Amino acid sequence: MTLQQTIAQYLEYTGHKGFDIHAALIDCDGVLYDSMKLHTQAWVKLMKKNGIKCTRDEFYELEGMTGSEIIKMKFKTGAGKNITDDEAHALYGVKNRYFRELGEAPVMPGAKRVLEVLKEADVDRVLVTGSQQDTILERIEKDFPGLFGDVKVTGHDVRKGKPNPEPYLKAMAKAERKSNQCIVIENAPLGVQAAHAAGCFTIGVTTGPIPEKDLLKAGADLVYKNMDELAAALPSLLVALTVIKA
Ligand code: CA
């Protein structure tokens, strides 16, 4: 499919007349940081310690759900246990400790360039993450100085994790933008589903083991191999979206 056809398809299924792109809603893990290897490792450690069989691949599939949602589901299906909110909160704390013990996740190659291209094009950068880890939020200030504004959505703001559209709807409300004024950058199928359900033009990046076809199936309008490839394509993509005025 050509870019023009992709754009035409988006306009058809959303019913929008065109675009007026002002904001990029940007996921964190697997987009800004190459952190999913460490997250999946920490998840498997937590499950094994609790006698629940699992593989790392499962946690790539579940990426985007809140920590509590993942814990409640895995303990139910894997051990027949109903976990309370307080127990889930405590177990999530343990998982985050395991994650921190694995060391700092590297910045995703190309991520900074993507943010710079957006800034140059006067498109606001809005962080949308389910993470409640204040350490990651502090790191963003240090690793991407001046590239994010004050508007952001974190795990502290949302009740329902992805694939529920709540995180993206909340980001749009906070940024005071409509769906045809935003693009979303996501790496995980559930994250793509959430963005697609919120009505935004959704860009997937295959930075982990999940193949392109899974992101397209989840509703991604476009998929790039990685953030470097997106950074290279982004200027012409933004122009292509700008010429079709809402
Ligand atoms: Ca992600």
Q: Span 116-140, mean pLDDT? A: 89
Question: How far away, in angstroms, is 57 Cα from ligand 1 center?
Answer: 14
d(CA 1, CA 119): 28
Question: How far away, in angstroms, is 48 Cα from ligand 1 center?
Answer: 23
Cα end-to-end span (Å), the chain: 23
Domain borders along the chain are 3-35+106-243, 36-101
Give the containing element (helix H, strand E) for 127: strand 124-128
Question: How far away, in angstroms, is 75 Cα from ligand 1 center?
Answer: 22
For residue 13, the model assigns a pLDDT of 96
Question: How far away, in angstroms, is 140 Cα from ligand 1 center?
Answer: 15
Question: How far away, in angstroms, is 47 Cα from ligand 1 center?
Answer: 21
Tens digit of each residue's pLDDT (9 = 90 or more) over 35-57: 999 999 999 999 999 999 999 99
Q: Model confidence at 84, in pLDDT bands (50, 70, 90)? A: very high
- Asked if residue 133 has pLDDT above 80, the reply is no
Question: How far away, in angstroms, is 9 Cα from ligand 1 center?
Answer: 25
Question: How far away, in angstroms, is 207 Cα from ligand 1 center?
Answer: 9
Question: How far away, in angstroms, is 172 Cα from ligand 1 center?
Answer: 18
Question: How far away, in angstroms, is 188 Cα from ligand 1 center?
Answer: 5
- Asked if residue 159 has pLDDT above 90, the reply is no
Tens digit of each residue's pLDDT (9 = 90 or more) over 20-38: 999 999 999 999 999 999 9
Q: Is CATH 3.40.50.1000 the classification given to domain 3-35+106-243?
A: yes
Which residue carries 């398809």 as its tokens? 9
For residue 125, the model assigns a pLDDT of 98
Tens digit of each residue's pLDDT (9 = 90 or more) over 183-198: 999 999 999 999 999 9
For residue 15, the model assigns a pLDDT of 95
For residue 206, the model assigns a pLDDT of 98
Average confidence score pLDDT of the chain: 95
Bond prior to 163 in cis (omega within 30° of 0): yes
Tens digit of each residue's pLDDT (9 = 90 or more) over 216-227: 999 999 999 999
Q: Span 111-121, mean pLDDT? A: 98
Question: How far away, in angstroms, is 162 Cα from ligand 1 center?
Answer: 10
Q: Span 107-133, mean pLDDT? A: 94
- Asked if residue 156 has pLDDT above 90, the reply is no
Question: How far away, in angstroms, is 29 Cα from ligand 1 center?
Answer: 4
Q: Which fold has domain 36-101?
A: DNA polymerase; domain 1 (1.10.150)
Which residue carries 């076809």 as its tokens? 213
For residue 245, the model assigns a pLDDT of 66
d(CA 75, CA 213): 30
For residue 246, the model assigns a pLDDT of 61
For residue 155, the model assigns a pLDDT of 83
For residue 137, the model assigns a pLDDT of 80
For residue 11, the model assigns a pLDDT of 96
Percent of the chain with pLDDT over 70: 99
Q: Span 167-177, mean pLDDT? A: 97
Q: Span 153-175, mean pLDDT? A: 93
The pTM of the full predicted model, rounded to 2 decimals, is: 0.95
List the alpha helices (DSSP H) in the chain. 3-14, 36-49, 56-61, 67-79, 85-101, 111-120, 134-143, 166-175, 189-197, 212-217, 227-242
